[in-house]
Amino acid sequence: MQSLVTPIHMPVPVEILQAEIRKVCGAFDLEPMRGTGVVAGDVATRRIGLFDTAIVGLDASSHVERGAKAIRQDPGEHFFLLIQDSGQCRVEQNGCTADLMPGDMFLVDSVKPSRFLYGGARSSQVSIHLPRDEMVHRFGDTCAGGVPISRSDPLWLAIRAVVTKMLDASGAQQQLGEAFLCLMGAYLQSSRGLVPNRAPETLLSRALALIDRYGPEPAFGPSELASRLNVSERMLQRHFRPIGETPGQRLLKRRLEVAHGRLAARAADQTSDGIAAIAYDSGFNDLSYFYREFRKKYDTTPGAVARCH
């Protein structure tokens, strides 16, 4: 199985690597190798498709753990699609144990205790961070509690192909991200046999799907969204309260994500699309507003993203 990434394995004090893991993934405890206080590994971040992603390399004879105390301190807002890229890892969560070999995947739930055992072998993993509230609203409880993704399912190959394409930073990142979510939803619903009993489609899940589809259109706003759903704007706002956003905030977030992906792809592919054209194609018709909100979300400028990715 061809590797997706090449992480760096350098000996560092366990406290430093643990701090890096916590900064990227949340409250996880890292056990050092044979009590030496040193562990070889590295954590890097990338933005692929619509998602923040961690590239984690570890040589650990003990384990990485997220216990009940860590969850209380840091409730967690994500699912982590863990893709074993090289080496091996045993994942334990919610009564489920999976021995991951290169290519194997496991959907980790941040609100449930979890352990990752490496057996002293060098391991590298890709961890795609999926917003928990959105996943639950899209797919119901099919994604909760820890889900191994079997390579015997034909959808496994499709999911890996899309992830590989996103990591290559080629193609239309927005469309690839949407394809990835569709494949994940299809796998979750079919693999657990919950099609007859799955949670009914909610107004919120329909709204999120419409924003994903039409958000980059400048004329598409909260009033148009409410109209398509045949509800008032006030009712639409009530349905957005569980995820702590307004429809307008969600639209802005979506447009910024699309613009960021386009800018990163522009740098990687050396395309000639200008920043103004990308902003408009992502749903913005006010360039100064776009620059202001982009800096607020990403703490950098659109030009810096276009040059550096």
- pLDDT digits over 220-252, tens only? 999 999 998 888 898 898 888 878 889 999 999
Report residue 170's pLDDT band, with 50, 70 and 90 as the boundaries: low
What pLDDT, in 10s, does the model give residues 116-143? Answer: 988 767 788 999 999 888 888 778 778 8
Determine the structural domain holding residue 79 and report its residue range: 10-191
Which amino acid is it at 193? G
Q: CA–CA separation, 79 vs 50, rounded Å?
A: 14
Rounded mean pLDDT, 294-309: 83
Q: What is this structure's pTM? A: 0.64
**What are the beta bridge partners of residue 108?**
80
Q: Is residue 201 part of a domain?
A: no
Amino acid at 65: E
| Statement to judge: residues 271 and 187 lie in one domain | no
**273 token code pair:** 């699309």
CATH number of domain containing 301? 1.10.10.60
Domain tally, the chain: 2
Residues 183 and 239 in one domain: no
Is 275's pLDDT higher than 60?
yes
> In degrees, to the nearest 5, what angle opens at C-alpha 249 toward C-alphas 272 and 309?
30
Which pLDDT value is given to residue 262? 81
Q: Within a domain: residue 200?
A: no
82 and 126 fall within a common domain: yes
Q: What is the pLDDT of residue 292?
A: 94
In angstroms, the first-to-last Cα distance of the chain is 27
User: In the structure encoding, which two tokens stand for residue 99, read together?
Assistant: 């021995």
Q: What is the CATH number of the domain that holds 114?
A: 2.60.120.10
Closest by CA to 258, choosing from 293, 229, 223, is 293
pLDDT digits (tens, 9 = 90+) for 69-93: 888 888 777 899 999 988 888 899 8
